[in-house]
Structure 1
Amino acid sequence: MSVQQIPTGKIIDGEEVIAIELTNSKGTYVKIFNYGTIINKFVVKNANGEMQDIVLGFDTFDEYLDPAYLKNYPYFGAIVGRYANRIKNGRFTIGEESYQLAQNAGTDTLHGGVVGFDRKVWDIVEIGEGAQSFVTLQYESVDGEEHFPGNLIVDLTFELTENDELILSYEAETDKATAINLTHHSYFNLAANGGNIKNHKQQIFAANYLEQDDNYSVTGKLIPVEGTPWDFTKSKAIGTDWNEDEGYDQTFVLDKIYGDLSLASKTIEEDSGLVLSVYTTEPVAHLYTAKYLGVKNGKGGKDYESYGAFCIETQHHPNAVNIPEFPSTILNPDDLYTQTTIYKVSLNK
C-alpha cells in the first residue's frame, strides 16, 4: 500500500492544488485532487486482465477549470456541499431564523449554491500508509458562505483497501445550527470502452422512491417502486424500462435501518466483468444516468455524451430541511455529522 503526493503546479486562492494517489498491492489505484476532493481516476483490473479506469474525468487538472466545461458543469468526481441536490426555492428556516440561498437551478438551490465545496481547495491534514492507504482532506466553510449559517469544518477521508474498496468517511462540526447534506458525485462507467450505460445491470435495494416536481425538487411524497420503471429491487439492465429521452434522475429510499452501513446499490457490466457495489450509512441513494452530460475532450480526448455514465449519490433525503417528516439535515453545535460510503469493485463470477 502506498500514498504519493504530486504537485500540479496550480495555485488557486493562494492554495496549491495537489494530486494524491492511493495504491494497493493489486495495482488498484485512486487519484484524488485536493481541489473539490475530485476523484480523477479509479483504476482496477477487469475480468480480461486489463487495467481499466471506471470514472469519467480529464487527463489534466487544468481541464477541470475550462470555461467550456464549467458552462454545463456536471460536477465530475467532486464532493457536493453544503447541501446535495435541491433545496426548494433556496429557502429554509432553523428555529426563528430564515435563510435565502442563491437560486442556481431555476428557483431552487442546487448542490450547495453558486460556488460549493466542489470549487474549493481542501487542506491535506493526514496521510497514511500500511494495511490501508488513506488521505484526510479538510475544508472550513465560513459563516455566511453561500448564505448558509455557521462556521462548518468538514473532514473527508479516502481510504483504499486490499479488497478494492474505496471508503469515504465524512465528519463535520459547526458553531451554529446549519443545514448539511454531503455526497460525492463520481460518474462511473464499467464498460472497457465506455459508451451508453443502458446495458449495465442495476440493482437498488429500495422499495420506494421520492416524488419530484417539474424542477426535480423533492415534494415529500414516497412512491412504491413496484410496477413502475423505477423498480430496481431485482437486477435489470438500466435501459429495460427507462424513458430514452429522460433516463433516471431519481432518489431511492433505501430499505435499511437508519444509520447502519448496508448495501445500497449493485451495478454489473458483463463484458468487463466488473461489479460496483455501494455501501452506505445514508438513508437514500440518488441514481442519475447523466441525461445532461455533454463534455468534449475527456480522458484520451473522448467526448462524453448523454447516458455515458451513471452516478450513485448517497445522502440524506433532498430538500429534507423543508420536510419535517424526513430524517433531519440540521447539524447543531454539540453534534458531530458523520457519514460513510464505500465503493467496492469486484468481478462478476
Structure 2
Amino acid sequence: MKIIREIINSTSDQNNLELLSLINKKQTTVKITNLGGIITSILFNDKNGQPVDIVLGFDNINDYCSEEYHSNYPYFGAVIGRYANRIKNGRFQIDGVTYQAAQTNGSDCLHGGVEGFDKKVWEIVEVAEVPVGRVKMKYISPDGEESFPGELTVYLTITLTEDDEIGIEFESTTDKPTAVNLTHHGYFNLNGGEGAIGGHLLKLNSSNYLEQDDNFVTTGNLINVMGTTHDFTKERTIDRDWDPSEGYDQTFVIDKETAGLELAAKARSEKTGIVFEVHTTDPVVHLYCGKYIAPLKGKNNVQYGPFSAFCLETQVHPNAINVPSFPNTILKPGEKAYSKTVYKLSHVN
C-alpha cells in the first residue's frame, strides 16, 4: 500500500487543506481531502484494464469551494452531519427540550443545516499504510452548532485494502444528549461519470421502503416494494420503472439479520464490467439519482447534469428523531455511536 499526501493551496478562507491518495498494488486509488471528508476520486480498472474514476467531483480541490458550485450544491462525496437527510420542520425534542434547526429545504432541515460537516476542515490525526491504507480524521462540533446541543466529537476513518475494499467508519461521542445521524454522500457513475446512470443495473437487499411526504420527509410508515416501481429485489436497470423526470429519491430498509456488516446494494455497469457492492452496519440505504445536479464541468472536463450519478447513502432512518417507531438517533454522554460501510469493487465474471 502506498499513500501520497499533498498540501493544497486554498483560494478560499479554508486553511490546512490536504489531499491524500491511497493506492494499492492493483493501482486502485482512493483520494480524500480533509475538506468535508470528501472522497474526490475512486480509480478502479475496468474489464479491459483501463482506469475508470467512478465518483463525481473535481480535479481541483478549490472547485469544491466555488460560489458556482455552492449555488446549487449537491454535496459531492462529502460527510453529512450532524443529521443526514431531512428533519421535519427542522424541529426535534430531547429530554423535553425543543430545538429548532435551520429550515434549509422548504420548512425542513436538510443535511445538518446551513453549514454542516461537509464544509468543515477536519483534523487529520492518523495516516498509515499497514495493515491497510488508512486515513483517520477528527471534527469537533461545538455545543449549539447549527442549533444542535452538545459538543460532538466525530472520528472518520477511510481505508483501502489490497482486495479493493473501501471502508468508511464513523465514531462519535458527546458531552450532552444530542441528535446524530451521519452518512457519506458519494455520487457514483461506473462509466467514468459519462452519461446518465439509468442503464446501470441495481439490486437492493430491501423488501420495504419508507413513505415520504411531498417534501421527501419520512412519515414513519413502511411500504412493501412488491408490485411497486421501487422493487429492486431482483437486479434490473435503474430506469426500468422510474419517472424519467424524477428518478429515485427514496430510503430503503435493508433486510438485515444482524447488526454487523451486511449487503445493502449491488450495482454494475455492462459497459465497464465494474461491480460496486455496498455493505453496511446501518439499517437503511437512501437511493438518490441526482435529479438536482446542476449542469457543470467535472473531472476530466466531463459534463455533469441531472441523473449523472446515483447515491447509496447508508444511515439510520431519516427523521428518526421525530418518529418513535424508528431506531434511536439520540446519543448520550458515555455512549458511542458507531457505523461502518464498505464498498467492494470487482468485475463481472
Q: TM-score range by the shorter chain?
A: over 0.9
Which residue of 1 is the match for residue 222 of structure 2? 222
Which residue of 2 is the match for residue 311 of structure 1? 311
After TM superposition, the score normalised by the length of structure 1 is: 0.98
Tell whether the 8 Å contact from 1:11 to 1:17 is kept in structure 2 after alignment. no
Does 2:301 match 1:301? yes
Task: State the secondary structure of the residue aligned to 1:279.
Answer: strand
How many Å separate the matches in 2 of 1:114 and 1:39? 21
Deviation at 1:301, TM superposition (A): 1.9
How many Å separate the matches in 1 of 2:337 and 2:307? 33
Task: State the secondary structure of the residue aligned to 1:146.
Answer: helix
Q: Map of 1:23-62 to 2, 5 A cutoff? A: 23-62=23-62
How many Å separate the matches in 1 of 2:318 and 2:259? 17
Deviation at 1:193, TM superposition (A): 6.1
Which amino acid counterpart does residue 337 of structure 2 have in structure 1? Y
Moved more, 12-21 or 205-214: 12-21
Task: State the secondary structure of the residue aligned to 2:202.
Answer: strand
Does 2:108 match 1:108? yes
Query: Over residues 161-189 of structure 1, what are the superposed CA-to-partner deviations in whole Å (9 max), with x where a residue is unaligned?
Result: 01111101110000000000000001000
Query: Over residues 25-65 of structure 1, what are the superposed CA-to-partner deviations in whole Å (9 max), with x where a residue is unaligned?
Result: 10001110100000001001110110110000011011111
Deviation at 1:68, TM superposition (A): 1.0
Does 2:337 match 1:341? no
Does 2:122 match 1:122? yes
Which residue of 2 is the match for residue 261 of structure 1? 261
Residues 246/137 of structure 1: CA separation in 2 closer, same or farther (3 Å cut)? same
Tell whether the 8 Å contact from 1:258 to 1:282 is kept in structure 2 after alignment. no
Moved more, 302-311 or 149-158: 302-311
Tell whether the 8 Å contact from 2:285 to 2:312 is kept in structure 1 after alignment. yes
After TM superposition, the score normalised by the length of structure 2 is: 0.98
Q: Map of 1:15-94 to 2, 5 A cutoff? A: 15-94=15-94
Aligned positions, number? 349
How many Å separate the matches in 2 of 1:261 and 1:192? 27
How many Å separate the matches in 1 of 2:30 and 2:73? 22
Does 2:294 match 1:290? no
Deviation at 1:130, TM superposition (A): 2.1
Structure 1: state its 5+ residue gaps. Answer: none
Which amino acid counterpart does residue 130 of structure 1 have in structure 2? V
Moved more, 179-188 or 129-138: 129-138
Deviation at 1:2, TM superposition (A): 1.3
Q: Map of 1:194-213 to 2, 5 A cutoff? A: 194-213=194-213
How many Å separate the matches in 2 of 1:190 and 1:108? 32
Deviation at 1:287, TM superposition (A): 0.3
How many Å separate the matches in 2 of 1:176 and 1:266? 38
Tell whether the 8 Å contact from 1:294 to 1:303 is kept in structure 2 after alignment. no
Deviation at 1:295, TM superposition (A): 3.6
How many Å separate the matches in 2 of 1:280 and 1:326? 18
Deviation at 1:12, TM superposition (A): 6.1
Moved more, 12-21 or 227-236: 12-21
How many Å separate the matches in 2 of 1:271 and 1:73? 29
Identity %: 50
Deviation at 1:257, TM superposition (A): 3.0
Task: State the secondary structure of the residue aligned to 2:146.
Answer: helix
Task: State the secondary structure of the residue aligned to 1:37.
Answer: coil
Moved more, 256-265 or 144-153: 256-265
How many Å separate the matches in 1 of 2:258 and 2:184? 19
Q: Map of 1:148-227 to 2, 5 A cutoff? A: 148-192=148-192, 194-227=194-227
Task: State the secondary structure of the residue aligned to 1:10.
Answer: coil
Tell whether the 8 Å contact from 2:194 to 2:302 is kept in structure 1 after alignment. no
Deviation at 1:14, TM superposition (A): 6.5
Query: Over residues 115-163 of structure 1, what are the superposed CA-to-partner deviations in whole Å (9 max), with x where a residue is unaligned?
Result: 0000000000011112311010000000000000000000000000011
Which amino acid counterpart does residue 146 of structure 1 have in structure 2? E
Deviation at 1:100, TM superposition (A): 0.3
Q: Tell me how large the CA RMSD over aligned residues is.
A: 1.1
Tell whether the 8 Å contact from 1:2 to 1:130 is kept in structure 2 after alignment. no
Structure 2: state its 5+ residue gaps. Answer: none
Which residue of 2 is the match for residue 320 of structure 1? 320
How many Å separate the matches in 2 of 1:183 and 1:137? 15
Deviation at 1:3, TM superposition (A): 1.4
Tell whether the 8 Å contact from 1:81 to 1:118 is kept in structure 2 after alignment. yes
Query: Over residues 50-101 of structure 1, what are the superposed CA-to-partner deviations in whole Å (9 max), with x where a residue is unaligned?
Result: 0110000011011111111101000000000000000000000001211000
Which amino acid counterpart does residue 318 of structure 2 have in structure 1? P
Does 2:229 match 1:246? no
Moved more, 264-273 or 254-263: 254-263
How many Å separate the matches in 1 of 2:13 and 2:329? 30
Tell whether the 8 Å contact from 1:12 to 1:121 is kept in structure 2 after alignment. no
Query: Over residues 102-121 of structure 1, what are the superposed CA-to-partner deviations in whole Å (9 max), with x where a residue is unaligned?
Result: 00000000000000000000
